[in-house]
Chain A
Amino acid sequence: MAGTFQFKCPACGGYLEFDPGKGKAVCPYCGTAIDEKELEEESRRREAEARQGENSGSSGQGNTGSESLKEYHCQMCGAEIVTDATTAATRCYFCHNPVVITDRVSDAYQPDGIIPFRIDREEARRQFDAYLKKHHFTDRRFFTGAQLEDFSGVYYPYWIGSMVGDASYSGEGKTVSSVTIRNEIVTTTQYYRLERAGRIAYRNMIRKALEKADRQLSDGIHPYDQEEMKPFSSGYLSGFLAEKRDVEQIAARESMEREANGYAERLLTENSGLSGLKGQASFTPDVVNLRYALLPAWVLTWKHPIRKRVYYYMMNGQNGKICGRIPLSWPKLAIVCGAVGAAVFGLLCAGGAYLW
């Protein structure tokens, strides 16, 4: 079957899954572990085989009749796998083996880099539990252990950009100084025109490359340590879900340029010694480098049984940073806020009675 591939254990033929804790692909049946270098080689071989199959016309890809759904076949059991248009790695619904969809991580869609998971499911669960405990106003009644099991490890696509360009600033500011001479305070305000120009370089600007991803959540789990970025290897996807991009480079670039332009004034007026600056800055990038990368995140979806609202949580798969809306315990919030308000009232009354 082409269009998909799975990493098979060289010892027992079972499927391999990437273990974030060990940093290796591990067979859950016989415990065989393959290190990252071997995994990369195996990935390249598997991808080449899959592409060869597609070229010979025996692609397993079909059309479900819907623009947003695609059909593939599991190499392990032959079952049909229906995915949406951006899924790059998933599991077979029947044999539950991990499946990587070749055409979504190759050629134009091959990521330039990937940051592998460093936090495994158990650690993610532990950190999420600690996160809820840290938020004292969380309505914890509905967070049961079973719900916390539903974590999914997902590689999300991002554009990571760096840019260098000419920048200039022209504006007016002032300095204010005061001296006391006998019984007078003499305040001198001097106005200056500030003209600055130079080169600004930005690194590691980041934009989500998947339209459907929640922007607040995907922004909220940054930053990733990009020193840990590795050349892409599909072996890292095994055992996790992955998405391919549907936001193209041009859109990400425009957005990054707008953001960079917004920072130019602040960067160019730093250490000018002037206050109350009013002026205009411009930034024109001439070297722009965008990399397409997959970054790891643990995702939890939870539906509140009473409020019927769905809560989404994302956790940085590298450092455990969590972002998501937390259901509030209103009674707890009312008690604490009421107590603080009463304390402020009491303190002010005491101040009114004894101090001022």
Chain B
Amino acid sequence: MVKKIRTLILCALCGLLLCSAAMAETRVIDLCGIFTEKEIAQMEEKIAAIREKFGMDCAVVTSDLVPENLRYETEEETQAYADAWYEDHDYGEGDDQAGLIYLIDMKNRLPYIGTAGVMIDYISDRRLKDLMETADPYLQKGQFGASALAVLDKLSGILAKGIEEGHFRYDSETGKRLTGLYNKLTTGEIVLSSVAGVITMLALGFGIWARYNLKRSTYHFNKETQSSVSLSRDEKIFLRQHVTRTHISSGGSRGGGHGGGGSGVHISSGGMSHGGGGGRHF
């Protein structure tokens, strides 16, 4: 009897361990029950593909437990909740815990994307805006699962393109730039550099060859010193006038804010750097 009880307890413990391990691997947490099972399965599949292909984590969370934001247009509570969720569940890949969390805040009716690690660099403000615009039509129609799937699809495309040229991080509170511009050598630049190198080489070679072989005219009459002009008539007659007006555009923002090539960064209460931002209320 004692043996049977011991066996049952062991089985229960093993079951619990297995369940907690399965929970740890789950990246779609639907606390509000607004996703269908099919949608959850599709999301898990897409997230697994992203993790395997790009080595960065991804999670989708719905919750109505987020405290209310101070004002309708602010997102501080949603942001804090997303950051805390990401850190508490130990999401992220690699030393920098790179990854993204897509939170559908049902309390504030606000979508939020939070980033960490190198994912901050991939998801610039411009790309964040793109992701939110991708999700927005579905959210407005109450198709929450479809919005998450659309975000994951868009994210795969973004990650495949790599970090944007000229990307930088900045402090989202002060606007101060935190890193230099991100540059990488593209294939186009290598091709252009090669072409410029070859053209320079040929031009230099041809120039020297032409100079050594007297391919240019050697005749030169110095008009400045060997000629003189005395004018007896000098008339400048006005014919017509043409006026053009060009409007000076006021000029847009040059990075550093939403829509730019930079990523705004803030520090969570847990001390970790996060990027990201919210979308339009639904």
Q: Contact between B242 and A348 (Cβ–Cβ < 8 Å)?
A: no
Shortest Cβ distance from residue A310 to the other chain B in the assembled complex, whole angstroms: 14
* Cβ of B2 under 8 Å from chain A: no
B226-252: CB near A (< 8 Å → 1, else 0) gives 111111111111111111111110100
Instruction: Give residues 185-207 of B contacting A (CB, 8 Å).
Output: 185-186, 189-190, 192-194, 196-198, 200-202, 204-205
Q: In the complex, A326 Cα to B186 Cα: how many Å?
A: 43
Q: Contact between A348 and B196 (Cβ–Cβ < 8 Å)?
A: yes
Among B22-30, B213-221, B270-278, which stretch is in contact with chain A?
A: B213-221
* Cβ of A223 under 8 Å from chain B: yes
Number of A-B contacts (CB under 8 A): 179
Q: Contact between B219 and A219 (Cβ–Cβ < 8 Å)?
A: yes
Given contacts A187-B246, A205-B221, A352-B193, contact A198 B235 (CB under 8 A): no
Give the chain B neighbours of A334 by CB distance below 8 A.
Answer: 205
* Cβ of B209 under 8 Å from chain A: yes
Chain A residue with minimal CB distance to B186? A352
A286-326: CB near B (< 8 Å → 1, else 0) gives 00000000000000000000000000000000000001111
> Which 3 residue pairs are nearest across A and B when measured between Cβ atoms?
A341-B201, A345-B197, A220-B218
Q: Contact between A172 and B239 (Cβ–Cβ < 8 Å)?
A: yes
Q: Contact between B231 and A191 (Cβ–Cβ < 8 Å)?
A: no
Q: Contact between A349 and B247 (Cβ–Cβ < 8 Å)?
A: no
Given contacts A172-B239, A222-B220, A328-B212, contact A353 B183 (CB under 8 A): yes
The A contact surface, by secondary structure, is mixed
Binding site for A on B (CB under 8 A): 183-186, 189-190, 192-194, 196-198, 200-202, 204-205, 208-209, 212-214, 217-223, 226-248, 250
Some 17 contacts from A to B, beta carbons below 8 A apart, are: A168-B233, A183-B247, A184-B247, A185-B245, A185-B248, A186-B244, A187-B245, A195-B237, A196-B231, A198-B229, A219-B219, A267-B229, A340-B201, A340-B204, A352-B183, A352-B193, A353-B183
Q: Contact between B231 and A198 (Cβ–Cβ < 8 Å)?
A: yes
Q: In the complex, A172 Cα to B250 Cα: how many Å?
A: 38
Q: Contact between B238 and A341 (Cβ–Cβ < 8 Å)?
A: no
Shortest Cβ distance from residue B179 to the other chain A in the assembled complex, whole angstroms: 13
Q: Contact between B226 and A199 (Cβ–Cβ < 8 Å)?
A: no
Q: Contact between B242 and A189 (Cβ–Cβ < 8 Å)?
A: yes
Q: Contact between B189 and A348 (Cβ–Cβ < 8 Å)?
A: yes
Q: In the complex, A158 Cα to B25 Cα: how many Å?
A: 97
Q: Contact between A188 and B227 (Cβ–Cβ < 8 Å)?
A: no
Q: Contact between A198 and B230 (Cβ–Cβ < 8 Å)?
A: yes
* Cβ of A45 under 8 Å from chain B: no
Number of interface residues of A (CB under 8 A): 70
Q: Contact between B246 and A219 (Cβ–Cβ < 8 Å)?
A: no
Shortest Cβ distance from residue B241 to the other chain A in the assembled complex, whole angstroms: 5
Q: Contact between B214 and A324 (Cβ–Cβ < 8 Å)?
A: yes
Shortest Cβ distance from residue A274 to the other chain B in the assembled complex, whole angstroms: 7
* Cβ of A251 under 8 Å from chain B: no
* Cβ of A135 under 8 Å from chain B: yes
Instruction: Give residues 112-170 of A contacting B (CB, 8 Å).
Output: 135, 137-138, 167-168
Q: Contact between A137 and B234 (Cβ–Cβ < 8 Å)?
A: no
Shortest Cβ distance from residue A290 to the other chain B in the assembled complex, whole angstroms: 15
Give the chain A neighbours of B248 by CB distance below 8 A.
Answer: 180, 183-185
Given contacts A333-B205, A340-B200, A348-B197, contact A205 B226 (CB under 8 A): yes
Shortest Cβ distance from residue A314 to the other chain B in the assembled complex, whole angstroms: 10
Q: Contact between B222 and A223 (Cβ–Cβ < 8 Å)?
A: yes
Q: Contact between A349 and B214 (Cβ–Cβ < 8 Å)?
A: no
Give the chain A neighbours of B192 by CB distance below 8 A.
Answer: 348, 352
Shortest Cβ distance from residue A217 to the other chain B in the assembled complex, whole angstroms: 7
Shortest Cβ distance from residue A323 to the other chain B in the assembled complex, whole angstroms: 6
* Cβ of A202 under 8 Å from chain B: yes
Q: Contact between B208 and A328 (Cβ–Cβ < 8 Å)?
A: yes
Determine which residue in A167, A206, A352 has the highest number of CB atoms from chain B within 10 A of its CB, and name it. A352
Q: Contact between B241 and A202 (Cβ–Cβ < 8 Å)?
A: no
Determine which residue in B185, B197, B240, B246 has the highest number of CB atoms from chain A within 10 A of its CB, and name it. B197
Determine which residue in A167, A337, A349 has the highest number of CB atoms from chain B within 10 A of its CB, and name it. A337
Shortest Cβ distance from residue A185 to the other chain B in the assembled complex, whole angstroms: 4
Give the chain A neighbours of B226 by CB distance below 8 A.
Answer: 202-205
Q: In the complex, A81 Cα to B236 Cα: how many Å?
A: 66
Chain B residue with minimal CB distance to A223? B222
Q: In the complex, A194 Cα to B217 Cα: how many Å?
A: 32
Given contacts A184-B248, A337-B201, A352-B183, contact A195 B228 (CB under 8 A): no
Q: Contact between A197 and B233 (Cβ–Cβ < 8 Å)?
A: yes
Q: Contact between A189 and B197 (Cβ–Cβ < 8 Å)?
A: no
Chain B residue with minimal CB distance to A349? B193
Q: Contact between A338 and B185 (Cβ–Cβ < 8 Å)?
A: no
Give the chain B neighbours of A353 by CB distance below 8 A.
Answer: 183-185
Selected contact of A348 from candidates B193, B217, B228, B239, CB within 8 Å: B193
Q: In the complex, A334 Cα to B245 Cα: how many Å?
A: 52
Shortest Cβ distance from residue A210 to the other chain B in the assembled complex, whole angstroms: 16
* Cβ of A96 under 8 Å from chain B: no
Q: In the complex, A36 Cα to B213 Cα: how many Å?
A: 39
Q: Contact between B236 and A333 (Cβ–Cβ < 8 Å)?
A: no
Given contacts A201-B228, A323-B214, A341-B198, contact A184 B239 (CB under 8 A): no
Shortest Cβ distance from residue B250 to the other chain A in the assembled complex, whole angstroms: 7
* Cβ of A247 under 8 Å from chain B: no
Q: In the complex, A342 Cα to B185 Cα: how many Å?
A: 17
Give the chain B neighbours of A197 by CB distance below 8 A.
Answer: 231-233
Q: Contact between A220 and B184 (Cβ–Cβ < 8 Å)?
A: no
